[in-house]
A and B are shown apart, each in its own frame.
Chain A
Amino acid sequence: MAKQITSSSTAEYFAKNLQQVGFSSPTKAVLTTLKEAVDNSLDACEEAGILPEITVTVNKIGAGSSKSSDLVEIAVEDNGPGIEADDLAKVYGEYLASSKFGRGQCTRGQQGIGISAATTWAQLTNATGVKVTSKTAKMRKAVQATIDVDIKGNKGLLKNKETIDWEKPHGVRVEFRIDGRIQLNGDGGLLTYLEGTTLVNPHLKLNYKLVENDWVKIERVAEQVPDIPSPTLPHPHTMKLGEFMTHAGLFGKIEFGKFLKTGFSRIQDATLKELVKNGMPKQLIDLPTNKLTEDQFKTAFQVIQKTELQQPSTKSVLTVGEESLAKSILRLGDVDFFSVVARKPRIADFKPVVVEVALARFLNRGGGDEPIQLLRFANRVPLQFDKAACAITRAVETVNWRAYGLQQSKDSLPSGPYVFAISVVSPFIKFKNASKETIDGSEELIEEIRRALMQAGQKLSRHIRREHKEADLERKIAHIEQFGPILINYLGRITKASQLRKNKAEAGLKKLLGRDAQAAEKDLSEAELRLQALKERQAKAGMLFSASGATSDDGGADSDGEEMPPAFEAEDGEDTPKGTTKKGAKPEPAAVKAAPKKDAAPVTTTATTAKKAEIPASTVKSAVTTTAKAAK
């Protein structure tokens, strides 16, 4: 006898397959829970136009129920608009209950799976769902309750509901107690996540305390809530036939032509005429959409696919912006120098996308031979697992970083104490899995990321080149001082020359090598001038971090495209305002973490040279002066 076929609820499916949505290990469970809670808070604040202030605590409070896990408490509190009491169960306990599903907006959450999955994990591992405290501006008191997931019915269950006094005017606090393991550093670490979130959310004020560490308070560096662009309609070229038909089903019996015009972007009356010209039966346009047969749908779909349509609008994508990125990166630690690039929104695979890149060298991170730290972001959410399979990683590996002065083995990440932060924002990002860990990239998207990386690499290379020139000068000066006397001495020994001859030869040698040192000095000052020019252009373009600290908002572009590959020269010259800065540049908002080091006065070349060689600056200066004088 055949077995009975049963159907399961969405919650049942996810409860059995939590590994698909980021709960595949105790370590990932902690990170995913934190991530879902913070994402929700940020999205809620942005939608309500509130500058987010989020407080995070993560603590180990005992032993976990399962083997080799701890009971971990994750609490996230925001100053968002709050959630109405009636909606709490739906938000935290029901799968696919989302206000954002398929809307075509650049929000972090999209499907309404993540936070319910976190509740399910808490319930499965600790027998209790999530404890939520919420208060909207209209409420006098806050509502507090525990929410479980009714797994059979895919519904949220509100328990222990009570009203409490809460000093906050509005906001939400969630507390999860789950089985997990706390990892702070590394690719999957909580700190890496919080740092990444800080970087791409310059408007975020974040306070956190992880385990026994001290409280960390990170001030916001942007005072404006990002304006989330309005949703965009899908472009017909991004759909498959089945999706096209399902989409049509939402429009009922309206005329097919009208459905095309209202259900998609880039289809107007003129487009319909073009479609008819390309073979779509004219009578189809006037037929009610729900009366179309499968064959008719197929014919229409095929004609649409082969008809050239205008590219979709790029207005729906949201960017962090170079200025904000530049300010934000300084919150991550002692930055030596950095370079940021925000590309203009582009179309890749008929989907609008914007790529932003921040490359920074840190003073106290990683070693020379270790790979750079790669921070990947999709719609401003850090991606922390399965790095190798991600389109962003592939793009970084395929750029020749050696050309920009970095070390790199073939087809690998470059190495050095750098952080590469790459953000891809699009209302239609294609992930490889439901847990949104890796971007599935087409060649077009990878190329767009590569272009951004190369632009940022060029700017970074100005700093690196200046350093190389500085080291070159240092080496040359050292050579003159060290080897010149030996050469003369041994020539004198072999030829049995008098001291007078040796003195004369030494003077001649200094004269000769002094000229070389002068040439090296000239190279260095040229490199410095180029770097300075870059900084000035950046200041002009509204970046706040020029060497002089000048600010301006008039926009601008880096016209110095001489190092760019020819293919990018014209395009990128007009395309992207660029900016870099050097450690020591002063950010506008005063309260920045680790401010004393960043506020240090810019070092001069000579002083730096001397410091590196561990000899007094005066010695170097005098050596250069001596050789310069000799040259005269």
Chain B
Amino acid sequence: MDKVIRIRKLTKDIPKEAKLLCETMLTELENANRPVLEAVKCSLDNSIYNPKVGYLTPGDKKVRTELNVSSVQKMARVIFMLERLLVNLESGSVNTKRELYYIAKGVIRGDRDLKPLDFADQDESDSIIDFIGDMLEVYREELNCFANDRGGQTYSQHLVVTETLPDGDRAVVDLSTLGTTPFQPKNKPQALTLKAKKKIDFCLVVESEGTAGTLVANGMTRRHNCIVMGAQGVPSNGVRGWCKLIQEQLKVPMFFFGDLDAYTIQNIYRTLKAGSAASLIRNSDFSAPEVHFLGVLPEDVKRWDLPFYNVNDRDPVEARSLKKAKDALGNDPFFQDKKNRRLSAILEWLIKNKIRCEQQSYFSVNPRDPQQVEKIILEKINKGLYI
């Protein structure tokens, strides 16, 4: 089987580390001592944000699992799943989390003694896989476990992507030749190298994939030397790695264009810019710290008289979003950092005014002009109306 493309230069030998860990556990058990598994604590209370670094990094806290009657189930599951992942690493096979869930079920079904290990749902096996990554301090992708591709549909008249294939061959994709078909980076954007045929002025990441398509269909990429990308909601690892790559290799200004609401700012934009607390150990390769928030900004609502609607705080989803925003102001180091005070001010404004304004509301400004939204975006970029 072909060798899997590496995401980063990893000095760790994962199979060796895993065997060492198991060896230690076995020796502890032989001596009737309690083995302990330790993993980086991936949560907000163990997140550090340094604006010079640009993304959330882990603190010193660890999740410590010592063997006892309550934890023996988790430990057995961890070692069982680790063995499956090692088999994949050895053979070069890759799987998604969902596939691994079913593989585990298949193995368990074939051995009656393993029945107690069975996973009731995918969340249970996912958390074990994540724990293994956090324990070995390696990316899930480095365990040959990849997420489904989602988002990152990219359009440009000037971008050329070269992909190094597992067998060493190279595939060159000139995005200008794809017409209205987007280029979508796979979940290993690190295997790609980028080249601009002409100087690219900016990269626009649009929260809504549909709106990104509209901008392109209306000729935005033909009129401007730019890259337009659809994020499709909360950016996947693929989108985050892809943005990081564009930022590093092309060094073009990057803007995020999305809704004005707590969820977008806190979950979508923050994750794209600084990564997430759940993926502390891989934010360095999966975040684009230079991305700016283009809008919708609170002042845009007034400036362009954008339609908005009130947040119904009786709606459980919206109420939860507002509560999360309040919590973020209180305990998210990203929003607490002075460098991001304009963003936290927006969150405060949203909590106070309880309104939402969607990115598509710009289409109300001059409904007869199909290029109006593009014009507003350009105006905002040129005049520096972003954060």
A→B interface (CB under 8 Å): 475-476, 478-480, 482-495, 497, 501, 504-509, 511-513, 516-517, 520
Contacts and interface: CB of A to CB of B under 8 A. Distances in A.
A508 B25 CA distance: 11
Contacts of A488: 26, 29
Interface string B9-34: 00000000011001101101111111
A contacts with B: majority SS: helix
B113 interface: yes
Interface in B70-101: 70, 72-73, 75-76, 79-80, 82-83, 86
A495 B26 contact: yes
Contacts of A484: 72, 76
Contact of A479 (B18, B19, B69, B82): B69
B67 interface: yes
B18 to A, nearest CB: 7
A517 B30 CA distance: 19
A520 B82 contact: no
B53 interface: no
B103 interface: no
A493 B83 contact: yes
Given A491-B29, A509-B29, 4 more contacts: A483-B76, A490-B79, A491-B79, A495-B19
Interface in B21-70: 22-23, 25-26, 28-34, 67-70
B contacts with A: majority SS: helix
A512 B32 contact: yes
B165 interface: no
Interface of B: 18-19, 22-23, 25-26, 28-34, 67-70, 72-73, 75-76, 79-80, 82-83, 86, 113-114, 116-117
A227 B32 CA distance: 68
A511 B86 contact: no
Find the residue from B28, B31, B33, B68 having the highest chain A CB count within 10 A.
B68
B69 A517 contact: yes
B79 A479 contact: no
Contacts of A520: 69
Given A494-B79, A504-B30, A508-B30, A479 B113 contact: no
B75 A511 contact: no
Given A479-B69, A493-B83, A520-B69, A486 B114 contact: yes
A507 B75 CA distance: 17
Nearest to B74: A483
Find the residue from B18, B19, B80, B82 having the highest chain A CB count within 10 A.
B80
Nearest to B32: A508
B26 A492 contact: yes
Contact of B30 (A476, A489, A505): A505
User: Lowest 3 CB-CB distances: which A-B pairs, in order?
Assistant: A482-B116, A505-B29, A508-B32
A508 B29 contact: yes
Nearest to A514: B69
Contacts of A476: 69-70
A199 B29 CA distance: 58
Contacts of A516: 68-70
Nearest to A503: B30
A495 B116 contact: no
Contacts of B68: 512-513, 516
Nearest to B117: A486
Contacts of B29: 488, 491, 504-506, 508-509, 512
A487 B30 contact: no
Contact of A483 (B18, B82, B117): B117
Contacts of A497: 26
A505 B117 contact: no
A497 B113 CA distance: 20
A327 B61 CA distance: 57
Contact of A490 (B30, B67, B76): B76
A487 B79 contact: yes
Nearest to B29: A505
B331 to A, nearest CB: 25
A487 B83 CA distance: 11
25 contacts: A476-B69, A479-B69, A479-B72, A482-B73, A483-B75, A483-B76, A485-B113, A487-B72, A487-B76, A487-B79, A490-B79, A490-B82, A492-B26, A494-B19, A494-B22, A495-B22, A495-B23, A495-B26, A507-B32, A508-B30, A512-B34, A512-B68, A513-B69, A516-B70, A520-B69
A508 B31 contact: yes
A491 B25 contact: yes
Given A492-B26, A516-B69, A486 B80 contact: yes
Contacts of B69: 475-476, 479-480, 513, 516-517, 520
Nearest to B34: A512
Given A480-B69, A483-B73, A513-B68, A494 B18 contact: yes
B69 to A, nearest CB: 4
Contacts of A509: 29, 67
A302 B293 CA distance: 72
A12 B33 CA distance: 88
Contacts of B117: 483, 486
B72 A480 contact: yes
Find the residue from B22, B29, B114, B117 having the highest chain A CB count within 10 A.
B29
Contacts of B30: 501, 504-505, 508
Contacts of A482: 73, 116
A480 to B, nearest CB: 6
A495 B19 CA distance: 6
Nearest to A481: B116
A606 B370 CA distance: 77
Contacts of A511: 32
B107 to A, nearest CB: 11
A479 B77 CA distance: 12
Nearest to A480: B69
Given A480-B69, A512-B32, A516-B69, A486 B22 contact: no
Contacts of A508: 28-33
Contacts of A479: 69-70, 72-73
Nearest to B115: A482
Contacts of A504: 29-30
A494 B80 contact: no
A513 B72 contact: yes
Contacts of B72: 479-480, 483-484, 487, 513
B159 to A, nearest CB: 44
A500 to B, nearest CB: 10
A274 to B, nearest CB: 56
A251 B315 CA distance: 64
Find the residue from B18, B19, B32, B75 having the highest chain A CB count within 10 A.
B32
